[in-house]
Structure 1
């Protein structure tokens, strides 16, 4: 749904790009009769924070953020005073008939209301308000029937209402805003964008419309256009919190880390609708961490108190509530003993196949592309992603893939990957978290230098061993250092969180 001043995601850590402006409780919107394309529920917080949770020297004074904007523009104040004028002169003369049909709609008698508005449209085809009422009734009926076909009718009727002669400006605005919203709901992102562009052309002084247009550009991956829109908004309304957080996100996606911080921070401090989103807390904290500012954990704490994060440490956003949450796991705790034993028993075969690819000229190890490295060289070679096998990759390591086929807890994990990871000397991976609490991550050591390679998850640091498996929950903050004199090679196997039911594993959408 288009955010108001109020892809399927690939497997990416949360430091990678996201689609801002979507609200957790409604994102991503699917047609009424479809399953949501991605579960976006908040994980239940543990009854008490983990013992390893960082000690906070202080919480920002903004911790209890106001729900109201800190500063209201004159335009916004004026808009609150004015009641929308939805009737033109002619519609004033048939107001009683319109009200009768509208009363049916508000009472939930949607079919009767639609019949009444259809009769009014037939009787008064040039009435914008009657046409708008018909669109609203179709919209309500689509929700009741969970029908895309009916919703498409509403989308078309909204357009008709906006294009009739003598349609009041307030009605044009209401009609096209709802049309853009419903188009986005149906997945017609470009159509929604076109409607919003039209709205901004008609009402160039309406900041909220420009903010929504910026989100529409972001949803299409057009950050350049979104950036231009938010620069326009901030030039005229420098205190607009919604524009600030989105502009800050764009700057961060451009790796302008220090520049992004004041926009993200001031946007969150504004408390304006559309700013209280876990992803903005996440990216502000990440930016602060990368500049060495320990107040990052203060903001993570605020995000936790606001219900966006399970804890200061565990900051994944695509979660299933109530799953056991701990950073490190033993083999016995996972219940995946057979898989771990098989990995450790076959580690030399897995290593040799990986080395044959690494030593070749095929270029199958690709550079990490999520901007997680502070420095260094980190390559990955993926066999399974989102529960889908890569046949071409598996032809290069046939024995590894053949034995993995027996372990569906890994190969069917739609919220994970199976891949080789090679890291050269001098590499540091920023503290980061994975996107979901629905998986656990296994690391099998293949080539591990004697010293200099380590991984921290929360406040516990471990080292890999050749032929041994480490298991951790990557929804918790983790960080990697490779300070050895030679490369490090591991095999990464993501598995379903053991507490997920078979039904959940089948119905959860991919990440």
Structure 2
């Protein structure tokens, strides 16, 4: 499986984010590394098995058309956190590798992917770790030094241009910085201001073309005469961040590789490089990068949770636990994410450690999970939540009746494609089984019909065609599932609360059962059972012969037509 994750960031409240923080005296010096930081969002990879687990990071795109519930929005990147000292941080004659624009080749921008995080608010009850976190005295942040000796001589002019940008006069600010660069082409701070203004304008215009200009300008900052170390780091990190935002992951890797070569002891750059590798699906280089971080900074919590995550994805379950646990306990920026609570709990469960539910509870208290049992991460707020549903509750009566009346037809067509030599049923390959054999034959996925599959089971597909609540469910599948004797599926949860799952029993020998939350049930041939797979569920096949069921995912009945049209696929 592929894996996650972007840059660490101090979490801020909406009030802190919206509060004006600029001062009129020295605006050109007030840009900090946090100014352009963003919260990074993770999503579940669409799996081709009966139940899903979540392993992949989703990259924000520049144009976000649709949002769900409390889907995070990008913080205003014109924030700052205070004044900056005017002394330089390195010798201005220090030789540095040239770090220019890495975006000369064209890549199409990914236009719209907009995942969401869980929407339910955390409980009032606070954990001990939260209370300890409040007791910590925050370390005073070192002020970045952005002005070199030359820029200090034109500080008043830089301040005037920066004031325009801070006041939201984006076009005027861009014009002012361009004029400064015409007069002072050697000014790194003016170049950076131009990049920021283009960045702001891209957001205002919702223009990928303008954002690409900003990306190029950020890269040019490092090639200016004698830029300060802090300015280079801030500008190039932002360049990589914006490349990720457009979906240009390979380019962000190149950008951060050059930056870490230039500043090899800066673990924050290596951490971000590791994230880019993960976004690219290059777990091996990500692992190597986090090993380098931990060699330099053994207590780096951000590196620990990511390293633990990589080990977990490689099925090194026992080895992953201490890294995930210590990383979360560090409470370092970027560690308090539901993904890590999810995988630590899952690893502990697989080792038979009941502490798993302690971490699930903490994840719930932190607002990552709706409850200890319901641990999906991509949710719409306010939907009815319960492990098991009745036909009356779900409301899709015609669909249920059609499935049950035609169950023998569905069964016979399913059995006709069971020949292993033909290879219609694909094995589950997402590491959800403790033991055994489990396969599936998919007809619809993410709201798209598999025409080739339906050729082999035409009557079954014809029955489903008139039920868009299922065939149009972009967050689900329609498929046959076969499970052989001796199979056990680990406790796990699906990725979203936006769907409910129907199981139609086709061939059900005695000894097959499914648990959802704390209620265990059995299938019956010709009957539909309905459950919410965003709740923890587990499957046992202890019969003497195979079990065959038909799985039909449907939209949660409380989703509006607009939501069903606009929610992103999973």
Same fold, judged at TM 0.5 (above):
yes
Q: Helix, strand or coil for the counterpart of 2:294?
A: helix
- For the structure 1 residues 82 and 461, does the alpha-carbon distance in structure 2 shift closer, same or farther, using more than 3 Å as the test? closer
Q: Is the 2:46–2:52 contact (alpha carbons within 8 Å) kept by the matching residues of 1?
A: no
Structure 2 counterpart of 1:230:
290
Contact 1:440-1:496 at 8 Å conserved across structures = yes
Per-residue Cα deviation, 1:317-348 (whole angstroms, up to 9, x for no partner): 01100000000000010110100000000000
Which residue, out of 215, 219, 229, partners 1:155? 215
The one-character-per-residue Cα deviations of 1:117-143 (angstroms, maximum 9, x if unpaired) are 111111111221111111111111111
**Aligned match of 2:198 in 121, 135, 138?**
138
Once the two structures are overlaid, the 10-residue window that deviates more, 207-216 or 1-10, is: 1-10
Whether the 8 Å contact between 1:364 and 1:381 is mirrored in structure 2 is yes
Describe how 1:55-66 pairs up with structure 2 within 5 A: 62=129, 64=131, 66=133
Structure 1 residues 439 and 422, CA gap change in structure 2 (3 angstroms): same
Q: What does the per-residue CA deviation read over 1:363-385, in whole Å, with 9 as the maximum and x for residues that have no partner?
A: 01010011100000001100000
Going from structure 1 to structure 2, the CA distance change for 1:306 and 1:46 (only over 3 Å counts) comes to closer
Instruction: Classify the secondary structure of the residue corresponding to 2:504.
Output: strand
Cα offset, 1:14, TM superposition: 5.2
Matched, 1:434 2:494: yes
Seen in structure 2, the aligned counterparts of structure 1 residues 256 and 213 have a Cα distance that, compared at 3 Å, is: same
Residues 360, 168 of structure 1: CA spacing in aligned structure 2 closer, same or farther, 3 A cutoff? closer
Could you tell me which residue of structure 1 aligns to residue 53 of structure 2? 15
Contact 2:123/2:367, CA 8 A, preserved across alignment = no
Residue 32 (structure 2) aligns with = none
Q: Give 3-state SS (helix, strand or coil) of 1:418's partner.
A: strand
2:514 partner SS: strand
**Runs of 5+ consecutive residues of structure 1 not aligned to the other structure:** 20-26, 50-58
Out of 313, 317, 326, the residue aligned to residue 377 of structure 2 is 317
Q: Summarize the Cα distance change of 1:67–1:219 in structure 2 as closer, same or farther, 3 Å threshold.
A: farther
Choose which of 547, 551, 566 in structure 2 pairs with 1:492. Answer: 551
Q: 1:422 to 1:358 in 2, by over 3 A?
A: same
Q: CA deviation at 1:198?
A: 1.1
Contact 2:59 2:279 in 1 (8 A): no
CA gap of 1:404–1:67, structure 2 versus 1, over 3 A, is farther
**1:179-234 superposed Cα distances (whole Å, 9 cap, x missing partner):** 11111111111111111111111111111111111111000000000000111111
| 1:273 is aligned to 2:333 | yes
Aligned partner of 1:467 among 512, 526, 534: 526
Q: How does 1:62-461 map to 2 (within 5 A)?
A: 62=129, 64=131, 66=133, 82-359=142-419, 361-449=421-509, 451-461=510-520
Taking a change above 3 Å as real, the CA distance of residues 306 and 355 of structure 1, as seen in their structure-2 partners, is same
Pick from 48, 63, 85: which aligns with 1:32? 63
RCO higher in 1 or 2 (8 Å CA, sep ≥ 6)?
Answer: 1
Do the aligned partners of 1:433 and 1:475 also contact (CA within 8 Å) in 2?
A: yes
- 8 Å CA contact 1:11–1:415 kept in 2: the answer is no
Residues in 2 aligned to 1:194 and 1:492: alpha-carbon distance in whole angstroms: 43
Kindly tell me: are residues 146 and 8 of structure 1, through their superposed partners in 2, closer, same or farther at Cα, counting changes over 3 Å? farther
Contact 2:512 2:540 in 1 (8 A): yes
RMSD of aligned alpha carbons: 2.2
Instruction: Identify the range of structure 1 (3-12 vs 291-300) with the bigger mean alpha-carbon deviation.
Output: 3-12
Q: CA deviation at 1:85?
A: 2.3
Give the conservation status (yes or no) of the 8 Å contact 1:68–1:273: no
Size of the aligned set, in residue pairs, is 487
> Residues 45 and 60 of structure 1: is their aligned pair in 2 closer, same or farther, counting only changes over 3 Å?
closer
Q: In structure 2, do the counterparts of structure 1 residues 358 and 63 end up closer, same or farther at CA, with 3 Å as the change threshold?
A: farther
8 Å CA contact retained: 1:441, 1:494: yes
What corresponds to 1:481 in structure 2?
540
Measured in 2, the distance between the counterparts of 1:156 and 1:445 equals: 58
- State the Cα distance separating 1:295 from its structure 2 match: 0.8
Contact (CA 8 Å) 2:127, 2:365: kept in 1 or not?
no
Taking structure 1 as the reference length, the TM-score comes to 0.91
Cα distance between partner residues in 2 of 1:276 and 1:14: 22
Residue number in structure 2 paired with 1:4: 8
* Shift, 1:90, TM fit: 2.0
Conservation of the 8 A alpha-carbon contact between 2:202 and 2:210: yes
Secondary structure at 2:56 match in 1: coil
Structure 1 or 2: more helix by fraction: 1
